[in-house]
Amino acid sequence: MRRVRKDDPARGALYVVGAAAAFSTMSALLKTASTEMSFEMLVFLRNSFSLLFLVPFLARLRLEGLKTRVLHLHLLRAAFGVTGIYLFVYAITHLPLAEGVLLNHTSALFVPFIAFLWLGERLTRWVGAALVIGFIGIALILKPGEDLRSFGTLVGLASGFTTAMAVVTIRRNAETEPYQRIVFYFFTLASLVSLVPALFVWQDPTLLQWLTLAGAGFFATLGQLGATKAYSLAPATRIGPYTYVSVVFAALWGWGLWDEAPDLMSVAGAVLIAFGGALAFPRARIEGDHVKVEPTPGGKPGS
């Protein structure tokens, strides 16, 4: 059995809401810059600026604080995270901002299954109903027959799955790693990996583009720190539904900057996805004021 750890879902929820506000602002800045830059450059510069803004947080860790015994988990988290970023940036540049953000948040529909298989977190009978409801919502947004839009929607959905994998990896990593170390390894590895494709399409950014992407990197850093801290405070199954507030923030950005107004089918789909996502997050089994984490199949503490 793994150790019994005390969780703080109230603080975790506050961190999630703050991270949602930061991520939606980052998304708006990336969509703004995408009109004149390739998404390969957007991803690389976003990651690089995020790493730069992370430097003040690293001072407290020092070199000894960067040592890790679970490098494989950091590599896995980076693989899912970088893939998710590429998919997400493509989606928000080909879809209305709120729609791209919403599809990324279909991760709520995938997290329970991944957490069950990997972390041993208990599933509930509501998950089946949640999936049906959520994927009906996706079908309403997909609008079959609009080829480019449908492809962008599928890409957004794929970003939701990879985000779910990254979220559960954070939770697994948080058993032994401080959240600053998790974020450091993610942005370092993400910057190195995303540099390669960016070099093939490189174009010198204008001053306005530098400032826009620096802002995206800044808010991405705030969002990553907030989200990583949140999932280290409480299980994803307890605080994940609060991430849907980012769709509201994104809708406000989309309406204010691009006059994006969703049609009735998209609104209905959004409601169903959010409702299904909320149902898909089962309650953790609480014992006293502690949350007992079940053993991972074949796993040991700190493995």
Q: What tens-digit pLDDT sequence spans the chain (303 residues)?
A: 444 455 777 788 888 889 989 999 999 999 999 988 998 999 999 989 988 888 877 677 666 667 777 788 888 888 998 999 999 999 998 888 988 888 887 877 777 777 777 767 666 667 767 777 877 887 777 665 555 557 888 899 899 999 888 878 877 777 778 777 887 888 889 999 999 999 999 999 999 999 999 999 999 888 877 887 887 787 766 776 677 788 888 888 998 899 887 778 778 888 888 787 777 655 433 333 333 333 333 333 233
Q: How far apart are CA 19 and CA 13, in angstroms?
A: 10
Q: Radius of gyration of the chain from Cα atoms?
A: 19
What would the two tokens of residue 303 be? 């493995």
The pLDDT value given to residue 240: 67
CB neighbours of residue 126 within 10 Å: 17
> Would residue 181 be called left, alpha or beta, if left means φ above 0 and alpha means ψ between -120 and 50 degrees?
alpha
Nearest 5°: CA angle at 174, between 173 and 177?
A: 80
The pLDDT value given to residue 219: 94
The pLDDT value given to residue 86: 93
Tell me the domain boundaries of the chain: 9-291
pTM for the full predicted model: 0.76
The alpha helices in the chain, defined as continuous H runs, are 9-33, 39-58, 62-65, 71-94, 97-104, 107-119, 126-142, 147-173, 179-200, 207-233, 236-239, 245-258, 264-280
